[in-house]
Amino acid sequence: MQLNRHVRVRTRTPLLLIAVLLILSAALVPRPAAAADDKKVLTVAVSQSVDSLSPFLASRLVSTSIHRLMYEYLTNYDPEDAHAIPGLATKWTSSADKLTWTYTIRSGTEWSDGEPVTAEDAAWTFNTMMTDEDAATANGSFVANFKKVTATSPTQLVIELNEPQATMAALDVPIVPKHIWENVEDFSTFNNDEDFPVVGNGPYILTGYKADSYVRLEPNKNFWRGAPEFDELLFKYYKDGDAAVAALQKGEVSFVGDLTPAQASALEDQQDIKVNDAPGRRFYALATNPGARAANGETFGNGDPSLLDQRVRQALFMAVDRTTLIDRVFQGHAVEGEGYIPPRFSTYYWEPSDDQELAYDPAQAARLLDQAGYRKNGDGQRVGKDGKPINYRILCHATDPEDKAVGQYLKEWWADLGIGVTLDCLDNVSDPWLAGDYDLAFDGWSVNPDPDFVLSIHTCGALPATPDDVGATDNFICDETYDELYARQLAEYDPAKRADLVKQMESRLYDLGYMNVMAYPNAVEAYRTDQIASITTMPEDAGNIYGQDGYWSWWSAVPAASDADDSSGSTGVVVGIVSGVVVLVGAGVFFGLRRRATADDRE
């Protein structure tokens, strides 16, 4: 189903004449000031609570999505095809040996408190992550290879590397204001959620927050790309997905994501509601506890020791019928999982060979368990080395109906193997996960156009320093072969060669059996067309609205029936000049005539 979204049209002269005429005519017509009760609020229902509003700590999608709205990164991703485009940096160059990178920082921009944004802010952000392990909690993998970072002038940032690093145009690190953050004493506890408004330089400014309730943002009137058109952006937390859908139907929220197939079907034909069903950027997996350990060699947690045997892990995955899960749980709104990176990212998408694939084969799964020494007793139960029946605890998210539904199938399929399953569905799975107190867990990540981050969380370097620390690891995986491949891909600048190395990493993860990618769910979401006239998906042709690699959706969203609409109210056309760019938005059209100062903004 097509969305009203911004479509780039490259024809130049006729559009320029039309745009100028429209702008001049619009300027001659006085517009009444919006009354207070006409405030346009874009309310987004979210099913995930914020883990931290500090960009140094946050890892959940809702939190990192909010940080993209609050802070600029050095570079951004084009909403059309996700190639790197300017953000805080207008351009970047490397030395011949790829060890020194120079970024030109955008001049003339300000933090929301009026202080100038300079290269010193970026240098301070990176240096803090390099010198304070707590500040490196969320994004430390990006700076692990940094040797030195300096601001040689207010508009020039220089990063020196120990080894070449292919991600230098994809450093997904929010740049924070030095004059605010240098006063933080403990990055492990500071959550950035007490003093409002929070100083930022993104399209929105954080103005309010209540844990497990809401996040409130208002437009940054001085944002260099132009201020958003909604007067307020509100992320509202709903523990229950059906309650969020009901709120959408009543008009209490503007947008709902993560729809179940039943919810999407119920909304499909409702007036003033549009359902978006597009290929997603997530994978949905079942992760096994590989034996939680710290970088200092200490082990901890209570994962079942049988899962340390690769044959057991592979047997479990061969007893998972992915086709059934796609048909019955996702009801066709997903693609069967294989490698670690979804097919949406075709450059890095990997599929196992026929002789490598762990296809659904319960009989072979049973034989593997027998070979591993885990045989059935007289009651038909698989018995561990301790003589006790095996019963795996699976961590699941209490708010995720997919976890519960898949869990019921696992109980049935694994019972045929003689293995018991206990679903441990919690509101907060983070604490037992970080403590290693689980056997298996439902897992999933949103993948960026450059997959470095999701690859890095399975390296030995991501393990916590000690059992009492928090590392950047997803699942305590530490494999020397995988690490060697990771280092090689990070240093490889040839796109084809790097893609091949990434696929070898996916192959290695698949063979190890620690991560069973079961599905690539679609982005199934809905919004009210009587509140949102148009909004940008990513990619623009057929993509998601929520959780983008950038801020395009919420920055571009046009209110329905607002003062910005034309007098007819039928096309929703908005005419204006945004940061020097002539913009016509409405009826699914976006015409961008680039100004000289930012000729590389979206090209």
Burial of 1 (0-12, 13-18, 19+ CB in 10 A): exposed
For the sheet with 574-578, list strands across it: 574-578, 581-586, 589-590
- Tell me the average pLDDT of the chain: 88
Residues 475 and 496 in one domain: yes
Looking up residue 102, the CATH number of its domain turns out to be 3.40.190.10
Q: Do 516 and 352 form a contact (C-beta atoms < 8 A)?
A: no
Residues 499 and 583 in one domain: no
- Section 128-137 average pLDDT: 96
- Section 233-247 average pLDDT: 96
Which pLDDT belongs to residue 308?
Answer: 97
Q: Do you find a cis peptide bond into 228, omega within 30 degrees of 0?
A: no
Looking up residue 325, the CATH number of its domain turns out to be 3.10.105.10
3 part of a folded domain: no
Q: Is the pLDDT of residue 210 over 60?
A: yes
- Section 46-61 average pLDDT: 95
Q: Is the pLDDT of residue 16 over 90?
A: no
Least confident of 30-44, 71-85, 498-512: 30-44
Look at the pTM and tell me if it is higher than 0.85: no
- Section 305-316 average pLDDT: 98
Least confident of 382-391, 499-508, 519-528, 571-580: 571-580
Residues 298 and 251 in one domain: no
Residues 403-445: tens digit of each pLDDT: 999 999 999 999 999 999 999 999 989 999 999 999 999 999 9
Which pLDDT belongs to residue 38?
Answer: 83
Which pLDDT belongs to residue 392?
Answer: 98
Closest by CA to 558, choosing from 542, 540, 535, is: 535
Which pLDDT belongs to residue 198?
Answer: 98
Residues 362-373: tens digit of each pLDDT: 999 999 999 999
Q: Is the pLDDT of residue 586 over 50?
A: no
Strands (E), 66-173: 75-77, 84-86, 89-94, 100-105, 146-153, 156-161
- Section 512-519 average pLDDT: 97
Which pLDDT belongs to residue 559?
Answer: 98
pLDDT bucket at 95, cuts 50 / 70 / 90: very high
Report in angstroms the alpha-carbon separations of 207 from 123, 184, 196, 228, 547: 26, 20, 5, 15, 20
Residues 259 and 339 in one domain: no
DSSP designation for 408? H
Residues 503 and 562 in one domain: no
Q: Is the pLDDT of residue 20 over 50?
A: no
Residues 66 and 195 in one domain: yes
Of the three residues 467, 490, 521, the one that is the final residue of a domain is 521
Residues 504 and 555 in one domain: no
Which pLDDT belongs to residue 88?
Answer: 98
Q: Is the pLDDT of residue 500 over 60?
A: yes
Which pLDDT belongs to residue 37?
Answer: 63
Q: Do 206 and 195 form a contact (C-beta atoms < 8 A)?
A: no
Q: Is the pLDDT of residue 31 over 60?
A: no
Q: Is the pLDDT of residue 236 over 60?
A: yes
Residues 116 and 131 in one domain: yes
Residues 63 and 93 in one domain: yes
Q: Is the pLDDT of residue 304 over 60?
A: yes
pLDDT bucket at 399, cuts 50 / 70 / 90: confident
- Section 338-346 average pLDDT: 95
End-to-end Cα, the chain, rounded Å: 27
Q: Is the pLDDT of residue 227 over 70?
A: yes
1 part of a folded domain: no
603 part of a folded domain: no
Which pLDDT belongs to residue 568?
Answer: 33
State the Cα–Cα distance between residues 443 and 519, nearest whole angstrom: 11
Least confident of 34-43, 311-320, 347-356, 508-517: 34-43
Q: What percent of the chain has pLDDT above 90? A: 85
Of the three residues 464, 490, 521, the one that is the final residue of a domain is 521
* Residue 394 bridge partners (DSSP): 423, 440
570 part of a folded domain: yes
Sign of the torsion angle spanned by Cα atoms 184, 190, 191, 194: negative
Q: Do 205 and 218 form a contact (C-beta atoms < 8 A)?
A: yes
265 part of a folded domain: yes
Of the three residues 479, 499, 521, the one that is the final residue of a domain is 521
Residues 495 and 534 in one domain: no
Which pLDDT belongs to residue 562?
Answer: 53
- Section 291-301 average pLDDT: 96
Residues 352 and 429 in one domain: yes
Which pLDDT belongs to residue 583?
Answer: 34
**Number of domains within the chain:** 2
Q: 372 is in which domain, residue-wise?
A: 282-521
2 part of a folded domain: no
528 part of a folded domain: yes
350 part of a folded domain: yes
Q: Is the pLDDT of residue 117 over 70?
A: yes
Q: How many CB atoms lie within 10 A of CB 363?
A: 9
Q: Is the pLDDT of residue 305 over 70?
A: yes
Residues 240 and 103 in one domain: yes
